[in-house]
Structure formats: C-alpha cells, structure tokens
Amino acid sequence: MTDPTHPLFGRRFQVLSVTHPPGRPGYLLVAYRQGTRLRLPVLATDRAPSASALPRTKLTRAALLDLLSLVQECGGSCPDPRSASGAGSPTI
C-alpha cells in the first residue's frame, strides 16, 4: 500500500487477482491473514497509473473551508492570562 492516507499504508500483500472495470479504477484481491482476502483499490497501491493522482491528505476542500470559516468566527486571539497570582509571582 503506497497511499499514505490508507489505513494499511506501508503494508505488503500477495496479489491474488487484479480487476479493471471499464471507466473506473480497478481493485486488487490480496491475501491477508488466515485465508482472508481483501479487496484494495488499485489507486492506493504501487500499481496505480500515476502516483501524482493520489490524494496527499484526508482533508477535503470542503473540510478546509469549514475549518477556515470556524477560525474566522472565533475572532481575535485568545486572551493573555499571564497575570501575577501572588506576591512571589514574577511580573512580565
């Protein structure tokens, strides 16, 4: 698995078969554990047509826009709580 956003990133599997449906990305059928087989997207593996087509983050454009909107709603920075808490406290 070569896609850094995939939960199995960095793992290696024995490929049992490859499917390439017309007009869609294909899948690999791989051997996993104790006879279990997994169906993995070709785009998340080194068999992808182009490594540059892989997403580099799990954040979508919409999620980033939501985050930026939330940050703008928060207004200014956080208040500075640094005040002396007693006679022995250093002053800034």
Residue 49 CA to residue 52 CA, distance in Å, equals 9
DSSP state string for 18-45? EE--TTS--EEEEE-STT-EEEEEGGGS
What pTM does this model have?
0.50
Question: 49: domain range?
Answer: 14-73
Q: Considering Cα of 57, then 63, then 69, then 75, what sign does the dihedral take?
A: negative
Residue 80 CA to residue 19 CA, distance in Å, equals 59
Total domains in the fold of the chain: 1
Q: Is residue 92 part of a domain?
A: no
Q: Is residue 67 part of a domain?
A: yes
Q: What is the pLDDT of residues 39-83, one digit of tens each?
A: 999 988 888 776 555 556 677 888 888 888 888 887 666 666 666
